[in-house]
Amino acid sequence: DTGVSQNPRHKITKRGQNVTFRCDPISEHNRLYWYRQTLGQGPEFLTYFQNEAQLEKSRLLSDRFSAERPKGSFSTLEIQRTEQGDSAMYLCASSPWGLSNTGELFFGEGSRLTVL
């Protein structure tokens, strides 16, 4: 098990383009989270899934953002019509939620987005 994997690690795009990030969680982790982090700030919650169900979305997740986890394994986060304010590090985390779960989250290395 190699931990949470995120791709691509870096993405530079022009304003108005669409981008998609992928996250592969730790095997058998049924919860998957997306966070966004800007320079000098702590990560801010975007959304999370339990298996394939999207259980909660932050108000930060505008209509231009969509996340999916179709088979309860990997997840994608798509940003449509990117804006310069979308420039940030997008972090994915997973957790083995269950009856005796501690709630510990394990994060990937992040995907850094730069919108020109």
Partner 1 sequence: KQEVTQIPAALSVPEGENLVLNCSFTDSAIYNLQWFRQDPGKGLTSLLLIQSSQREQTSGRLNASLDKSSGRSTLYIAASQPGDSATYLCAMAQFSGNTPLVFGKGTRLSVIA
Written as one letter, the residue type at 40 is G
Which of 70, 103 has the CB closer to partner 1?
103
Q: In sequence order, what are the residues at sequence separation of 6 or more whose Cβ sits closer than 8 angstroms to the Cβ of residue 115?
A: 13, 14, 15, 82, 83, 84, 85, 86, 87
Q: Is 103 helix (H, G, I), strand (E, B) or coil?
A: coil
String marking each residue 12-41 x if it binds partner 1 according to CB under 8 A: ---------------------x------xx
Q: Which of 19, 91, 113, 115 binds partner 1 (CB under 8 A)?
A: 91
State how beta strands 75-79 and 88-95 pair: unpaired
Measured from the CB atom, the residue of 80 and 112 that comes closer to partner 1 is: 112
49 binds partner 1 (CB under 8 A): no
Residues that bind partner 1 (CB under 8 A): 4, 6, 33, 40-45, 48, 55-56, 58, 91, 93, 97, 101-110, 112
